[in-house]
Structure 1
Amino acid sequence: MTWPTYIPLWPLSFSPTLWFALTLVIAVLLGEGLVRYLKLPRIVGYFCTGLLLGPAGLGMIPELPAVEWRLVVELALGILLFELGCKVNLRWLKANPWIAYTSLLEAGATFAALFGLLMWF
């Protein structure tokens, strides 16, 4: 008797998409747990979880070329910037203009230092 083609063979094999989705779910759960346990900002929990599960840690998230990760990275940065924009209080920033000036000065100094360093090498 032959095995019917409509019944999957056992053991079932995981597709790469399913493995990636499960890894992301684990990462979110670990990140949220780390954030609540250590009372740190959410981005720190996600960063530490990514470091742990990524190629430098346990290797659950493979090291792929940047072209394959570009969409995911752009979506993540978009969400991060959206959340950051929601947290900025413009009235408070107008009441404390030196913080805005200091931030702009720090960003300009960092840019100038990195530009000079990269041009030197």
Structure 2
Amino acid sequence: MPLRDLAALRCWPPSSPTATATATRQRRGDQLDWPQVCFDTFTDHGANVSCDNGNSFVLRLGVKLGHETKWTAGNGRIRRSHVYGITNLCYDCLHGTSARLADICVVSTDLALGVGFSVGAR
């Protein structure tokens, strides 16, 4: 059973002015990015500049886990807190882009495989 189905909302006691509810959620995200850079050949200070390979194909898989708490404060107002963490795994399938500057190939190559982490709260 997926984690999102196990996230149960609990309230105790329902009649209390300080009733609390908590929920834990998990969200998965998949994304394919295919950016393309293309420009016409031009001359800059006597050097020819041309686009050699402007294609990139990036696969991103991500997971977000969050925990939310909701309660009624002593003054009767509803308060909330939300804490979450995000993990992304990225893979560049085409391994970078390149351009030519005066017959020299200039290549943009990040790591083909990368991992990103982030946390937040509100």
Which band: TM-score by shorter chain?
under 0.3
Q: Which has the higher contact order (CA 8 A, sep 6+)?
A: 2
Give the structure with the larger strand fraction.
Answer: 2
Which is helix-richer, 1 or 2? 1
TM-score (norm: length of structure 2): 0.20
Greater radius of gyration (CA): 2
Please give the TM-score of this superposition, normalised by the length of structure 1. Answer: 0.20
